[in-house]
Structure 1
């Protein structure tokens, strides 16, 4: 029901506008009667769906440094009962909004105000965001003009591309840009061959196999927001016949995908959708297959081959729109069919593709090492 209501708010302009005006006013009035707690920090990752990504990296940093023990950290989740070891609150409830109005510090990778505007002047708000954009996001999407990040104190950017996109997509102020890269990606910048070997061991990858990580992007709901299922036109039995002697495939669905259809998992095709730490999967992988997902930018940090399997290239990109042409900027041109994709992988010049990926990375990801410390110190001071 909650996802259905969110879908309606996103796609009905009148209801959306009414919600923003009325509820924003209500919370601003409510906030006048809530004293700011100088030691309270509110964390939200992916709208309360997960305990991961850059907010968790920052949280872990604070937990490991004695100077931040004085802060009380509260996490907002859809299902807080699953995180008994943390102090939590259920997102989108009166208790959540009361916590948001009281907390001195807000840290998120999506949003805290849930589409509203009620931040008080004395609150400090950092948004790490959650990916470099290929597809149009925010106000750049057709029919969307409701994003306004002008109250952010800090908005993390990974490079020049982010700065251009965030200005138009979020109405973000350049003065809020924190040029350090996403904390979640710092681990990728520091990963070496030892880290790769360790991850493969932990994931149970046979020593004689190489790893393909297949991570397609999210698809819009086709049933009015009831589900967000994906059914890629893939015949993994064919993949196994062509690649099974040399590779295993980790299948990773987008975090907002509710169901994967038409896929049977086995020793060759492994279900990695529920694995929490996507960085582990990237570090272990020799090759990434994706389509229009931001994971391409993250994985490029490792300078390993990236293949774009764009089976719905024309229809998807016509509907969503992109900031640049995939075939002009990606490490190599997209594959439109399974046959083409499998042939490319079988004939891969690994070192040449690594160099192609490095070129792509250097254009879009200019910051990374030291991101976590930079974000924490920006929010809480030196």
Structure 2
């Protein structure tokens, strides 16, 4: 039997679940088990739990067949817990380092109390940490245990279950279970504290309580579910009625009840406006029904609110809360004035356009900060033309990129009057990066964020931890992300990352990447056309080299010598280089270029055509590997500076441990792999298959259609994802040339 059982209920937390579980399993104390309860979570949380359970025997997973809510999910975990003590941890929170060892030591020092109360701190998206405001109640506790009567002020701690360890036989003896509904912590917390004969304290932060920026706390949701608070306190007082020996706690718990009711009533964003009076009258009825004999109201303004509640005079309470709302409205007006001042910098013309009606049939597209027509937005544009030709499509491009816009594509120059008019009037705004700070999100507009790669390197808020991103203004970044209505994902791995690092209230579309549709659906003719456009001779073996940018290098320092590569690989090999990473005007390099042995494809407008033309990809840490894997062709990772890159920029997994194929740490290793053919073996194919199944999960050739139907046509039912076994695989260059060779 383990000493500690940690019950972790799980629902829609895939972005935070890894961090939660790692914080437990990484503790230096090991005498524990985790009972994780998948509350029929609709995201990838259940699969994450199963993956951890497969790797660690201390992890036990319960999959519920229907969503039952936090309280009942905890009950399901309690039934399976075997530890001497039970702890609860919400699945978006984490344990601090050494927490379990400190808890176990204090339990032993206090001679195994029924409850141990420990401290917590709130953590925020910007990395700030704020202590528990009543941490003073835990100080100077020593190792002595006591009853609540000796420390009644402990009732003033936040009524939460996850800052305590409970002896399991005490839970059984007391008959404690969690009720359904909101505020389920209140009955458990109060009933356990007043029942315990021996309580001990630990003055140490053991739980880091995540304050999620968006969507993390259901108690901040406007809903009639807040009426559940009445049932919760009914349970508290029923518990007291059945135990006359605990009657001394009737007065203190009455105070907690009334304060809680007033908090629900006064806090904005909880009760629907048309339900406030009903809530007040029910709270007043509970007040009068449970008012203890000879009870004295608190002094001051708080006492006046109590008197109003006791007399059931809602207009008077509405007047008090109206003053609060007026002050809040004044603050909102001040913020609006500031925002209006900012918008004045956009120009009179843009402001005038913002006053005009939205054009329901106008969509503005942009990619890579206006650098051209490409990536996911371009693929969505093409599918939109097919499925919804009535929607006018306009591209925002920089003046220096206008000459790269394909013929017939409607476009506006970034910064022009036409540009600002389009942004102000368009119903749909589509981008693979963020639009400028000056862009105003109008009511009724739909912003679609397509992203432009699966993240290996850290993104969004996760970059705060690494030195390469110290220049970023993360608050501004989140303000830009607040405009998103939809965020596209090509795999569950990306979904979990985006939802955590961009904590805003958008809808995730697990559609696949539209730009990769062409890689799934490509034909022999497409492959031939791509190679012909690049001037590649039949039978030439083509390696596409695509290194990524390194923020820590102000000027790129080549780690690969393309001339040496081309020379040693021989005349039948062509090296396509994507990126201006080789320089010089030596006769040798010039001759290699003239002969077609090295082709600079940095300015090629469609990287997908380069993928189709190449027999294999050579890259380091670029997201190109995730897209190229769709083709199921060889990928070689050239990682001479992995240790530096992963430390400075940060990565989400160890690429050397989970590569999509062969790995080379030096140019000589790379040349040996390519020259011998060891880059394309049965083993590398196995690595590629695992990589492809993980990261090309939704890339089945129908991504653009899914996006258009959901975002532009409003269809709620999405196309099912085609299983890997049923997806077509584009022909390789060798396969595309077979008919020609036979002829």
Report the TM-score range of the alignment, normalised by the length of the smaller protein. 0.7 to 0.9
Q: Deviations over 1:241-289 (max 9, x none)?
A: 3212441111111xxx6x7535843421111111111111111111100
Task: Give the alignment of 1:234-273 within 5 angstroms.
Answer: 234-253=560-579, 260-262=582-584, 264=589, 265-266=593-594, 267-273=596-602
Q: Determine the C-alpha separation between the residues in 2 that align with 1:23 and 1:290.
A: 43
2:620 alignment counterpart: 291
Q: Determine the C-alpha separation between the residues in 1 that align with 2:687 and 2:621.
A: 17
Q: Indicate conservation of the 8 Å contact 1:106/1:123, yes or no.
A: yes
Shift of 1:97: 3.5
2:132 alignment counterpart: none
Q: Determine the C-alpha separation between the residues in 1 that align with 2:602 and 2:341.
A: 38
Q: Determine the C-alpha separation between the residues in 2 that align with 1:308 and 1:344.
A: 11
2:412 alignment counterpart: 89
1:109–1:21 distance in 2 versus 1, CA, 3 Å: farther
Residue 307 (str. 1) matches residue 636 (str. 2): yes
TM-score normalized by the length of structure 1: 0.83
Task: Give the alignment of 1:57-96 within 5 angstroms.
Answer: 57-63=379-385, 65=386, 68-79=388-399, 81-82=402-403, 83=405, 85-93=408-416, 95-96=418-419
Please state whether the residue corresponding to 2:697 is helix, strand or coil: coil
Q: Indicate conservation of the 8 Å contact 1:44/1:111, yes or no.
A: no
2:518 alignment counterpart: 187
Q: Determine the C-alpha separation between the residues in 1 that align with 2:703 and 2:547.
A: 26
Q: Determine the C-alpha separation between the residues in 1 that align with 2:361 and 2:384.
A: 13
Q: Determine the C-alpha separation between the residues in 1 that align with 2:497 and 2:614.
A: 29
| Higher RCO (C-alpha under 8 Å, 6+ residues apart) | 1
Residue 102 (str. 1) matches residue 425 (str. 2): yes
Residue 327 (str. 1) matches residue 656 (str. 2): yes
Gaps of 5+ in 1: 1-18, 224-228
Q: Determine the C-alpha separation between the residues in 2 that align with 1:92 and 1:154.
A: 25
1:304–1:99 distance in 2 versus 1, CA, 3 Å: same
Q: Indicate conservation of the 8 Å contact 2:639/2:663, yes or no.
A: yes
Q: Determine the C-alpha separation between the residues in 2 that align with 1:261 and 1:318.
A: 28
Q: Determine the C-alpha separation between the residues in 1 that align with 2:490 and 2:451.
A: 10
1:72–1:208 distance in 2 versus 1, CA, 3 Å: closer
Moved over 4 A (4+): 19-22, 24-32, 92-95
1:10 alignment counterpart: none
1:44 alignment counterpart: 366
Rg bigger for which structure?
2
2:447 alignment counterpart: 125
Q: Indicate conservation of the 8 Å contact 1:327/1:333, yes or no.
A: no
Shift of 1:377: 1.4
Q: Determine the C-alpha separation between the residues in 2 that align with 1:96 and 1:260.
A: 36
Computed over aligned residues only, the root mean square deviation of the Cα atoms, in angstroms, reads 2.8
Q: Indicate conservation of the 8 Å contact 2:365/2:394, yes or no.
A: yes
Q: How many residues align?
A: 351
Task: Give the alignment of 1:330-349 within 5 angstroms.
Answer: 330-332=659-661, 334-349=663-678
Shift of 1:380: 1.6
Residue 206 (str. 1) matches residue 537 (str. 2): yes
1:156–1:98 distance in 2 versus 1, CA, 3 Å: same
| 93-102 or 282-291, larger mean C-alpha shift | 93-102
1:237–1:37 distance in 2 versus 1, CA, 3 Å: closer
TM-score normalized by the length of structure 2: 0.44
Q: Deviations over 1:81-113 (max 9, x none)?
A: 42474332222456533421211111111122x
Shift of 1:324: 0.8
Gaps of 5+ in 2: 1-337, 465-469, 716-743
Q: Determine the C-alpha separation between the residues in 1 that align with 2:574 and 2:393.
A: 40
Q: Deviations over 1:292-333 (max 9, x none)?
A: 100000001111111111222222222211111111121246
Q: Determine the C-alpha separation between the residues in 2 that align with 1:194 and 1:93.
A: 40
Q: Determine the C-alpha separation between the residues in 2 that align with 1:22 and 1:303.
A: 53
1:95–1:196 distance in 2 versus 1, CA, 3 Å: closer
1:81–1:235 distance in 2 versus 1, CA, 3 Å: closer
